[in-house]
């Protein structure tokens, strides 16, 4: 077994210390990136190379769907419907190596990823203590809370 490199150690630490929202975001980020690769491979007529990545996206979508545990929450149904839709879109795209369908999926994942990224940033802002230098002044009447 080889010694883990710095990138692997960083990624492991990132996952182990991540909040549920951050983990969700990381999964979406990976699914989005892989869907870009699938589209590129299909454009190059490399169906065999793309097949392994389709499996990974399918696994990620299954993981995202399994992560929805509170079915009584108003957004849970919307989230689960979205991931079921994306799973069906991936299956349909895979059957015909449909680049347009995978591009549509990538666009949806990009929107979803951006939404979760904003949530993670907000979450980090709420948990990160604000540090202000001793010579700072606050003369603005603008309300920065949101």
User: How many structural domains are present in the chain?
Assistant: 1
Q: What does pTM read for this prediction?
A: 0.77
b/e map 9-35, b = 16+ CB within 10 Å: eeeeeeeeeeeebbbbbbbbbebbebb
Does residue 130 belong to any structural domain of this protein? no
Q: Whole-angstrom Cα distance, residue 83 to residue 97? A: 20
Domain that residue 110 falls in = 18-124
Does residue 52 belong to any structural domain of this protein? yes
Does residue 6 belong to any structural domain of this protein? no
- Identify the pLDDT of residue 13: 72
pLDDT average, residue stretch 121-146: 54
Residue 10, pLDDT above cutoff 80: no
CATH number for the domain including 85? 1.20.120.340
Does residue 1 belong to any structural domain of this protein? no
Does residue 140 belong to any structural domain of this protein? no
Residues 77-112: tens digit of each pLDDT: 899 999 999 999 999 999 999 999 999 999 999 999
Does residue 138 belong to any structural domain of this protein? no
Does residue 114 belong to any structural domain of this protein? yes
In this structure, what token pair is assigned to residue 36?
A: 């870009």
- Identify the pLDDT of residue 137: 38
Residue 71, pLDDT above cutoff 70: yes
- Identify the pLDDT of residue 136: 40
């Amino acid at each position: 077994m080889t010694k883990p490199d710095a990138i692997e150690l960083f990624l492991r630490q990132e996952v182990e210390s991540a909040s549920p929202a951050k983990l969700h975001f990381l999964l979406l980020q990976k699914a989005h990136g892989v869907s870009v690769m699938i589209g590129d491979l299909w454009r190059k007529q490399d169906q065999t190379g793309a097949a392994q990545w389709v499996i990974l996206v399918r696994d990620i979508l299954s993981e995202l769907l399994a992560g929805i545990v509170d079915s009584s929450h108003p957004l849970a149904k919307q989230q689960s419907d979205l991931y079921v839709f994306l799973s069906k879109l991936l299956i349909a795209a895979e059957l015909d190596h449909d680049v347009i369908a995978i591009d549509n999926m990538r666009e949806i994942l990009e929107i979803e990823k951006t939404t979760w990224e904003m949530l993670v940033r907000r979450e980090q802002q709420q948990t990160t203590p604000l540090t202000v230098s001793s010579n700072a002044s606050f003369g603005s009447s603008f309300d920065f809370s949101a």
